[in-house]
Structure 1
Amino acid sequence: MAAQNDVSVAVYGDKSEQNHTQVSIEEEFDYTQRGQWLRAAILGATDGLVSVSSLMMGVGAVKQDVRAMILTGFAGLVAGACSMAIGEFVSVHSQRDVEVAQIKRDNRIAGAIDDGEKEVLPNPIQAALASAVAFMLGAIVPLLAASFIMDHNIRLGVVVATVSLALVVFGWAGAVLGGSPVVKSCFRIVVGGWMAMAITFGLTKWIGSTGV
Structure 2
Amino acid sequence: MISNNNKDLEMEMEKRALPNPFHAALASALCFSIGALVPLMSAVFIRDYKIRLIMVVAVASLALVVFGLVVAQIGNTTKMKSCVRFLCGGWLAMIITFGLTKLLGASALE
TM-score for the superposition, normalised by structure 2:
0.72
Shift of 1:146: 2.0
CA distance in 2, matches of 1:203, 1:129: 27
Query: What does 1:187-198 align with in structure 2 at a 5 Å threshold?
Result: 187-198=84-95
Partner in structure 1 of residue 108 of structure 2: none
Q: Percentage identity across aligned positions?
A: 54
Partner in structure 2 of residue 62 of structure 1: none
Q: Residue 70 of structure 2: which of 173, 178, 181 is its match?
A: 173
Partner in structure 1 of residue 60 of structure 2: 163
* Greater relative contact order (CA < 8 Å, ≥ 6 in sequence): 1
CA distance in 1, matches of 2:103, 2:15: 54
CA distance in 1, matches of 2:8, 2:98: 57
Shift of 1:156: 0.5
Q: CA RMSD in A?
A: 2.8
TM-score for the superposition, normalised by structure 1:
0.41
Is residue 185 of structure 1 aligned with residue 76 of structure 2? no
Q: Residue 31 of structure 2: which of 134, 144, 150 is its match?
A: 134
Closer/same/farther in 2, CA of residues 126 and 156 from structure 1, 3 Å limit? same
Q: How many residues in Structure 1 have an aligned counterpart in Structure 2?
A: 101
- Give 1:121's aligned amino acid: L
Unaligned regions of 5+ residues in structure 2, if any? Answer: 106-110
- Give 1:153's aligned amino acid: K
Closer/same/farther in 2, CA of residues 207 and 106 from structure 1, 3 Å limit? same
CA distance in 1, matches of 2:5, 2:100: 52
